[in-house]
Structures are given as structure tokens and as C-alpha cells.
Amino acid sequence: MDKDFALTLRLLDEALARYVRPDTFPLAIRMLKPGEAVPEGVKIPSKTMGEQWIVCQSIGVARRYGWGIAVGKDDVICPLAAIAFGFRKPNEEYLKGFVSVGMYCKDEQAAANLEASTWRFEPGTYDYVCVAPLNRATFEPHVVAVYANSAQVLRLVHASLYKRGGRVVSTSGGRLDCAEIIIQTLITNEPKVILPCNGDRVFGMAQDNEMAFAFPWAYAHEIIEGLEGTHKGGTRYPITVAMRDTVKMPKSYQALMKKLINGDSS
């Protein structure tokens, strides 16, 4: 545990703003265990607004509105997310791929395989998913998530490998990206690149030019060091393009320029 997580949150947010420049707030995400208090300033939609929000929607609100949001059993009306985060127990219909046949899979066997491969917490492990912008979080996160374009995510991949090397290895089922961002990252304890799913695009307003990058909180200082180090090494965002050579102008432009030069020398 980071003894001064508030300072680390600030330094990480500053590094991301300087070296990555995401369009929306980078997010601090914490899973709250049974009995763990909801952090100060965090809204629970079912209690605060009388509304039920799903996880990807909550992520979208947090990164665009700048709100702190916690959603749990009484909030999440997406059955797939409710099961994945352990707020509801999986039943036979779910395990057989009830909602995936025809929509994502050809038949029941393929759908069952898809559900079996979904990242999940054991039922009852956590009460809430808590999400807030890094610069407004009042809690120590388990996971940090950044939505960005592919070049910005590339910079985060560079940063995550700066100290350890190797590769960033991720899995994607093409749906339920909330589980891939949070559960996959927590269970594997490694950074991940995530494709926004249909639900995130419809309810979380993820755009076609966006991806997500998530990493465990334990990587925070490595990400800061990696962004700084690779920037000094010349790998930067915006990506530096080849603009230094003398360009070749159209022939008519060249002829006019020659006349201008000859006119100046006469």
C-alpha cells in the first residue's frame, strides 16, 4: 500500500497530462469489499439520484463529468456486469450463453465458451465498483484506467515496459470491457490494452478513436518513470513526424520560385 497515495495520484495525473494528454479524465478505480465505506464525495446512483447505472456508464460519467461514482448490486442492471463483478450469482441460463446466442455467437456451445472465458470475481467478494478522476479521488485505487487514442495508448505501453521490458499481454472478448479493464487487470496484476465494447460505446459514450489502457496501482511510479524516461529518449506524444527535409514543390511552383530568385539577383 502506498503510504502517501494522494501525492502519487497527483504526480501520476501530472505525468499523464504532460506526456499523454488524454481528452478525458484518467480514472482511479477501487473495488470496495463488504463493509468498506464508500469514499467521501462519491455518489451512489440508486441512493443519490434514484437511478440505476451500469459499470461502463459510470466510467463514462466519471471520465467526462469528473464525478466520483460507486455502483453495486442495487445499481447495476446489466446482468453480465452484475455477474462479472460478483454482485449476482451466475445461473444456468447465463452459463449456457442465454444472452450471447445470436447476438455474439452462432450457437449455444460457442456462447457457453464465451461466458466461461469472461473475467469474473467470485460472488460476494466486493460490494461496489468505485470510480473517480485521479485528480479528485479521495481513495487509494486498485486500478488506473486511461481512455485515449492509439498513439497515446502506445506511449503508455512504452512507459509500462520501460523498467521491466517484455510485452503487454491482453485478452479481449469484444464485449464487457468493464471486466477487462478492472477484473482482468486486478487478477493478472499487469497492465492491459482494452478495446471498448458495444455497451461502452452506447452507454459510456466511448468513441471510435478511443481505446483504454489500464494498470495496477502498484505500477504508478513505474508509469511515471517510464513516461519521463521514454520522453527523454525521444519517444513522445504527439508523435514526431519527418518534417525536416527540403520538400519537393510542384513544377510550376519551382519555375515561379526560380523566376523570383533570378529577379532578386538581377
Mind listing the pLDDT tens digit of every residue in the chain (266 residues)? 456 999 999 999 999 999 999 999 999 999 999 999 999 999 999 999 999 999 999 999 999 999 999 999 999 999 999 999 999 999 999 999 999 999 999 999 999 999 999 999 999 999 999 999 999 999 999 999 999 999 999 999 999 999 999 999 999 999 999 999 999 999 999 999 999 999 999 999 999 999 999 999 999 999 999 999 999 999 999 998 888 888 899 999 999 999 999 987 65
> For position 134, what pLDDT does the model report?
97
| 31 Cβ neighbours under 8 A, 6+ residues apart | 85, 121, 125, 126, 128, 129, 130, 142, 182, 186
**Half-sphere exposure (Cβ direction) of 260: Cα atoms closer than 13 Å:** 6
Instruction: Please identify which residue in the block is written with the cell numbers 460505446.
Output: 201
> For position 210, what pLDDT does the model report?
98
Question: What HEC string does the chain produce?
Answer: CCCCHHHHHHHHHHHHHHHCCCCCCCEEEEEECCCCCCCCCEECHHHHCCCCCCHHHHHHHHHHHCCEEEEECCCCCCHHHHHHCCCCCCCHHHHCCCCCECCCECCHHHHHHHHHCCCCCCCCCCCEEEEEEHHHCCCCCCEEEEEECHHHHHHHHHHHHCCCCCCCCCCCCCCCHHHHHHHHHHHHCCCEEECCCHHHHHHCCCCCCCEEEEEEHHHHHHHHHHHHHHHHCCCCCCCCCCCCCCCCCCHHHHHHHHHHHHHHHC
**Cβ neighbour number for residue 91 with a 10 Å cutoff:** 11
Taking every pair of C-alpha atoms in the chain, what is the biggest distance, in angstroms?
91
Q: Which three cell numbers stand for residue 167?
A: 510485452
Q: Which of 219, 143, 218 is nearest to 182 (CA)?
A: 143
Q: What are the residue boundaries of the structural domains of the chain, listed by start?
A: 5-265
Question: What is the spatial distance between Cα 28 and Cα 149, in angstroms, rounded to a whole number?
Answer: 19
Bridge partners of residue 192, in order along the sequence: 214
> For position 1, what pLDDT does the model report?
44
> For position 2, what pLDDT does the model report?
57
For 7: left if phi > 0, alpha if psi spans -120 to 50, otherwise beta; the answer is alpha
Question: What is the spatial distance between Cα 21 and Cα 30, in angstroms, rounded to a whole number?
Answer: 23
